[in-house]
Amino acid sequence: MSMDLVGKWAFLIGLVIAVLAGLLQGAYTIPYATLILIILGLVVGFLNITTKNSDKFLIAIIALTVVGSMTVLAIPSLDVYLAAILANFVGFVGAAALVVSVKAILEAAKK
C-alpha cells in the first residue's frame, strides 16, 4: 500500500470517527476517540499536505476554527451534536495543522 493511499484512508477514517463520535456522544462513547483522531491527524499532516498547498490548508484551519464555532450555535436543536462534531474535527485537523506549520517553519528557515 502506498503512502499516498495511507494518507487518504487516514483522512477518511478520521472524518468518519469525528462525525460518529459527535453524533453518538450522549448515548455511546468511542474509546480513545480523541487520541485516535490526533494520531490520524498527524498521519494526514505528514502524508497528505505538501509544501505547495500548506498555506491554503492552514488558512482553511483558521477559518474553520473561527467561523465554525460561531455558526454551530445558530441551530439550537442540533447545537450539541454539531458542537461535538466540530470539536472532534478541529482536534483531528488541528494535529495535521501542527505538523504542517512545523514543516512550513522548517522550510522557511532553510531559505
Q: What is the pTM of this model?
A: 0.83
Angle 11-44-14 from CA coordinates, rounded to 5°: 30
The pLDDT, as a whole number, for residue 96 is 93
Confidence of residue 51 (pLDDT cuts 50, 70, 90): confident
Confidence of residue 69 (pLDDT cuts 50, 70, 90): low
In the structure grid, which three cell numbers stand for residue 2, read together?
A: 502506498
Structural domain boundaries, residue 7: 3-110
* Distance between CA atoms of residues 67 and 104, nearest Å: 24
- What is the number of domains present in the chain? 1
Judge whether residue 29 has pLDDT over 70.
yes
